[in-house]
């Protein structure tokens, strides 16, 4: 298949070689270690390897889920992809000009001193030649797109609910129309009903904008709702990956079975259905199921 030049050889990237044409991201044999602080003067410096030969790809416009227990290395992987992990071995090839990030904590990821309008316009100020009026128009259009009222534009983050803040974070991440979004536990800090709304929003935006998303969560049900394919990570290794229904309903690795069982999904003959019907991979798939599970 035809290969295209990576648009964005990330900082520290050892590789500038080519990606397959329909891929937005390729990660090959990625290894990351952290240096452990020396506790005594003459102690040997130790390093702890967190990611072990992680390899995968994401297609353009596709949601790839990454699931695994807390501490297994998910955030380390997302930081490496964003170029925030200066030292690694292996290759990260990215065709997205500006991959964007949505974080877990909508409370600390928004500048508390700035109004929503300023927050949304900042990426445009830094990266485009748009006028102040055009920037404001784009900010208002994006607010509408993420389901927020125009008046929110003059609010400070502290004046918003958790769900509204996460909508603002999502809006901010989309201002530059990225083709790849890294969503690292984007709903983990939210109540269950708000979680479902944010997942529905992400699913809708993903379809409308043709976004590729690396969707990271420790929650098997949440990952199922949004992802077309999924990878299961254990102690820094991908132990199983494949189409989401295949992995969830015909798991091969004992660890996948363990996670499914812990989430109460094991033994379900049919995949969780919802009112959203058979339309695509998400749109609230499993939402009712989830509400029941948490009731």
Ligand X SMILES: Nc1ncnc2c1ncn2[C@@H]1O[C@H](COP(=O)(O)OP(=O)(O)O)[C@@H](O)[C@H]1O
How would you label 29-67 residue by residue, b for 16+ Cβ within 10 Å and e otherwise? ebbbbeeeeeeeeeeeeeeeebbeebebbbebbbbbbbb
**Residue (of 254, 251, 256, 249) closest to 272 by Cα position:** 249
Structure tokens at 127: 């990266």
Window of 5-13, 67-75, 81-89, 223-231 that interacts with Mg ion by CB under 5 A: 67-75
DSSP assignments along 207-233, one per residue: HHHT-EEEEEES-HHHHHHH-SEEEEE
- Minimum distance from residue 69 beta carbon to ligand X (Å): 7
CA 91 – CA 81 distance, rounded (Å): 10
Q: Is 27 in the site for ligand X (CB under 6 A)?
A: no
- Chain residues 71-110 in contact with ligand X, contact rule CB under 6 A: 71-76
CA 165 – CA 197 distance, rounded (Å): 13
- Minimum distance from residue 50 beta carbon to ligand X (Å): 4
> Which partner, ligand X, Mg ion, none, binds residue 241 by CB below 5 to 8 Å per kind?
none
Q: Is 34 in the site for ligand X (CB under 6 A)?
A: yes
Residues that bind ligand X (rule: CB under 6 A) add up to a total of 10
- Chain residues 199-238 in contact with ligand X, contact rule CB under 6 A: none
H-helix or E-strand containing 53? Answer: strand 46-59
> Which partner, ligand X, Mg ion, none, binds residue 50 by CB below 5 to 8 Å per kind?
ligand X
> Which partner, ligand X, Mg ion, none, binds residue 157 by CB below 5 to 8 Å per kind?
none
CA 61 – CA 53 distance, rounded (Å): 25
Nearer to ligand X, 49 or 193 (CB): 49
Q: Are 221 and 263 in contact (CB under 8 A)?
A: yes
Q: Are 196 and 287 in contact (CB under 8 A)?
A: yes
> Which partner, Mg ion, ligand X, none, binds residue 37 by CB below 5 to 8 Å per kind?
none
- Minimum distance from residue 72 beta carbon to Mg ion (Å): 9
- Binding flags for ligand X, 59-78, as an x/- string (CB under 6 A): ---------x-xxxxxxx--
The 3-state DSSP class for residue 143 equals helix
Nearer to ligand X, 76 or 179 (CB): 76
- Minimum distance from residue 227 beta carbon to ligand X (Å): 17
Q: Is 183 in the site for ligand X (CB under 6 A)?
A: no
Q: Is 290 in the site for ligand X (CB under 6 A)?
A: no
Distance of CA 32 to the CA centre of its chain: 19
Binding site for ligand X (CB under 6 A): 34, 50, 68, 70-76
């Amino acid at each position: 298949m035809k290969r295209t030049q990576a648009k964005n050889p990330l900082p520290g990237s050892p590789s500038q070689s080519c990606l397959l044409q329909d891929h937005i991201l390729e990660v090959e044999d990625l290894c990351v270690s952290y240096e452990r602080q020396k506790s005594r003067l003459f102690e040997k410096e130790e390093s702890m390897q967190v990611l072990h030969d992680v390899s995968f790809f994401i297609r353009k416009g596709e949601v790839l889920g990454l699931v695994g227990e807390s501490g297994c290395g998910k955030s380390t992987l997302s930081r490496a992809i964003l170029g925030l992990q200066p030292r690694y071995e292996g290759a990260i090839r990215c065709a997205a000009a500006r991959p964007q990030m949505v974080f877990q904590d909508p409370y600390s990821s928004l500048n508390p001193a700035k109004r929503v309008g300023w927050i949304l316009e900042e990426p445009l100020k830094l990266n485009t030649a748009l006028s102040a009026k055009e920037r404001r128009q784009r900010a208002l259009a994006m607010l509408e797109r993420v389901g927020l009222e125009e008046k929110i534009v003059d609010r400070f983050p502290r004046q918003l609910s958790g769900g509204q803040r996460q909508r603002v974070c999502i809006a901010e991440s989309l201002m530059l129309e990225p083709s790849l979004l890294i969503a690292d536990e984007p709903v983990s800090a939210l109540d269950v009903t708000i979680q479902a709304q944010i997942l529905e929003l992400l699913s809708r935006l993903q379809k409308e904008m043709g976004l590729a998303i690396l969707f990271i969560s420790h929650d098997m049900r949440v990952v199922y709702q949004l992802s077309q394919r999924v990878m299961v990570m254990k102690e820094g290794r991908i132990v199983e990956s494949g189409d989401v229904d295949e992995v969830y309903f015909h798991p091969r690795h004992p660890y996948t079975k363990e996670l499914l069982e812990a989430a109460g999904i094991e033994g379900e003959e049919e995949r969780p259905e919802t009112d959203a019907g058979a339309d695509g991979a998400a749109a609230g798939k499993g939402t009712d199921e989830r509400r029941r599970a948490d009731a």
